[in-house]
Structure 1
Amino acid sequence: MTETYFESEDFTKIDFSKTKINKGEYDNCTFTDCNFENVHASNIQFVECEFITCNFSNAVVDNSAFKEVSFINCKMIGVKFNECDPFLLQFTFKECQLSFSSFYQLKIPSTKFVNCNLQEVDFTEATVTNAVFDNSDLKGTIFDRTNLEKSDFRTAFNFNINPESNRLKGAKFSKENILGLLTEYKIVVE
């Protein structure tokens, strides 16, 4: 099977649940208002691409590569990013709905989550150093043996991070949200 190569193309309002996405490499492409819900988007290379107002909910991204990819205002519920190609993996999320997604054991340093809903997301054993969780909701998010060193949680909220089972050296928190580090101890702060 020949791999297809797309460069600097715009894909707008395509429903990939009805129109099959071509396997191959997408370089510097923009996807706007596209639907990837429940789509098998496996073994695809996305390099320096931008996804705007797309629906990726429950998409299968097995062995797909996301290299310098931006997601803006996307719905990405239940995406198992831990199944994608980890080589040169780098993405940013702005105003995205990522609930129930998984980053299990991924190395995603310097990832930015800006105004995102990260409820019930799994970061178990992930390396999320130098990350930014700007104004993001982390209710029920799992941090277990996660390396969060030098990450910025100053404007994040609803998180519960156990300092004894996660690496937090140099991580930033605000006075307003520091209680998220104390929940495990069941103490009362008034």
Structure 2
Amino acid sequence: MPELIEGVAFRDEDWYAEELVDRHFVGCSFQRVDLTEAVSRGAVFDGCTFGSVSFNVSRHTDSAFTRCVFTRCNLFEAEFTGCKLVGSTFDRCDLRPLVVTGGDWSFTTLAGADLRGVRITGVRLREADLAGADLTGATLTGADLSGAQWRGARLIDADLRGSDLTSLDPGGAQVAGAVIDAAQAVLVARTLGFEVR
């Protein structure tokens, strides 16, 4: 059985290179905790808050951070593989360079986030809030972005091939140099009112 930790406040703790395996945190608060090079596998964080936490070079596999709030956290070179972050919010976090492979980040709030050059592949991002986010030069391929909010987003030189862009209004985001595939090009043309023959 996973170890259940509920409603605990962790402050100014050193968890450098900690291995978080099958631990279950519910409603916990993490303030100024050092998780640099930490590794999580099958860990669950539900409804937790993270303030000024260092996730630098941390690795997370098949873990869940659901309905969590990240404020002023540093995720430099953090990697998430097959993780679930449904309903989580990132506020004034350092997210570069971030690597996300697979998993479900639906309903995640990344509004205004600096995501330049991040690599996000094969991720479910349904109804994610990317309004005002800077994805310049980012790789965002094979992602389910249906219902995502794009207002004011910067997608300059981003690689968007294979992603669901049905909710993207090209007039409401900066898309110069963004790369899409042929099927996406047809979709965008139809969104703009063109008839493709």
Segments of 4+ in structure 1 off by > 6 A?
Answer: none
Q: How does 1:3-152 map to 2 (within 5 A)?
A: 3-17=12-26, 23-81=32-90, 83-86=91-94, 89-152=96-159
Ranges in structure 1 where 5+ consecutive residues have no aligned partner: none
CA distance in 1, matches of 2:122, 2:189: 24
TM-score w.r.t. structure 2 length?
A: 0.85
Aligned residues: 188
Worse-superposed segment, 151-160 or 169-178: 151-160
Provide the secondary structure at the position in 2 that maps to 1:177: helix
Letter in 1 for 2:182: K
Letter in 2 for 1:57: T
Aligned to 2:175: 168
CA distance in 2, matches of 1:145, 1:76: 23
**CA-based RMSD:** 2.2
Shift of 1:152: 0.6
Identity rate, percent: 16
2:154–2:174 contact (8 Å) kept in structure 1: yes
Q: Deviations over 1:52-97 (max 9, x none)?
A: 111111012123222211111011111112x1433x6432111120
Ranges in structure 2 where 5+ consecutive residues have no aligned partner: 1-9
TM-score w.r.t. structure 1 length?
A: 0.88
CA change 1:12–1:105 in 2 (3 A) is same
Provide the secondary structure at the position in 2 that maps to 1:144: coil
